[in-house]
């Protein structure tokens, strides 16, 4: 089954341009995933297509309005009559600095879904009422970005690459950083010597048992550091 990623954003080109390349691009061509963008500016009711307004009570900046985002979710059959529609294997998450910290474990959980919906913010944040219609708030780190598009792409790629067949070599997925709670061992390729820097001799020995022992030893060493 093709996994769907529905991304709500004011800047769909940011999502589209990145997702056409590399792993995400190939996965879409192979019908393993489908990435759709939805501009919630298209769901405004006024001629100027306003999606933000001044906050009640005063304060700096502008706040994203709840109605355009709600109407966009409604068009996807995710909400109706002011309530979120329960759907199995569908999750609506919102990019929010106050959310749970995204990690590999979460990506693995998301990869079991059929539909992952990601809402990208801008400006000073969301009207609080939008949180009634989402399942979870997610953050990718303790820093400030201009919007939620980069976090949404991080989550999309981290999740998609865990799907069967998306990576050409499943063995590489099993050994990747964080999969087993460990960092990867150091890796080398040609040339054997570069500016007097040599590839460790054990990796050239052909002794697979000793190579594996070396890798395990150096993986643990990385963790300690």
10 and 48 fall within a common domain? yes
Q: Are residues 187 and 173 in contact, defined by beta-carbon separation less than 8 angstroms?
A: no
What's the confidence (pLDDT) of residue 42? 97
Candidate ranges 85-89, 116-120, 176-180; pick with highest mean pLDDT: 116-120
205 falls in which pLDDT band (50, 70, 90)?
very high
Per-position b or e across 126-142, b if 16+ CB within 10 A of its CB: bbeebeebbeebbbbee
- Confidence band for 184, pLDDT divided at 50, 70 and 90: confident
pLDDT per residue over 146-181, tens digit each?
999 999 999 999 999 999 999 976 655 555 555 555
Residue 187, token pair as written in the block: 């890796």
Q: What is the pLDDT of residue 224?
A: 47
Do 83 and 49 belong to one domain? Answer: yes
* Statement to judge: residues 135 and 205 lie in one domain: no
Structural domain boundaries enclosing 212: 182-224
* Model pLDDT, residue 225: 43
What percent of the chain is modeled with pLDDT above 70? 91
Domain assignment of residue 134, yes or no: yes
Same domain, 192 and 143: no
Domain count along the chain: 2
Mean pLDDT on 190-201: 94
Q: What is the CATH number of the domain that holds 203?
A: 1.10.1270.20
Considering the chain, what is the average pLDDT of its residues?
92
Query: In the predicted model, what is the mean pLDDT of residues 61-66?
Result: 95
Residue finishing a domain among 160, 192, 211: 160
Is pLDDT above 60 for 79? yes
CA distances from 217 to 172, 182, 207, 212 (A): 19, 12, 15, 9
Same domain, 205 and 137: no
């Amino acid at each position: 089954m093709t996994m769907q990623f529905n991304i709500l954003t004011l800047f769909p080109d940011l999502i589209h341009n990145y997702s056409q390349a590399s792993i995400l691009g190939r996965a879409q061509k192979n019908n393993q995933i489908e990435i759709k963008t939805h501009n919630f500016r298209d769901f405004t009711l006024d001629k100027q297509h306003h999606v933000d307004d001044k906050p009640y009570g005063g304060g700096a900046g502008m706040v994203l309005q709840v109605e355009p985002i709600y109407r966009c979710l409604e068009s996807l059959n995710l909400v109706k009559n002011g309530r979120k529609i329960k759907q199995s294997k569908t999750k609506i998450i919102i990019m929010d600095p106050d959310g749970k910290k995204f990690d590999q474990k979460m990506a693995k959980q998301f990869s079991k879904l059929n539909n992952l919906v990601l809402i990208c913010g801008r400006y000073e944040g969301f009207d609080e009422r939008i949180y009634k219609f989402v399942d979870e708030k997610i953050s990718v780190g303790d820093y400030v970005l201009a919007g939620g598009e980069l976090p949404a792409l991080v989550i999309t790629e981290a999740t998609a690459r865990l799907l069967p067949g998306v990576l050409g070599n499943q063995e590489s997925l099993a050994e990747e950083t964080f999969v087993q709670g460990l960092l990867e061992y150091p890796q080398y390729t040609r040339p054997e010597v570069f500016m007097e820097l040599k590839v460790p001799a054990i990796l050239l020995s052909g002794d697979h048992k000793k190579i594996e022992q070396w890798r395990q030893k150096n993986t643990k060493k990385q963790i300690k550091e």
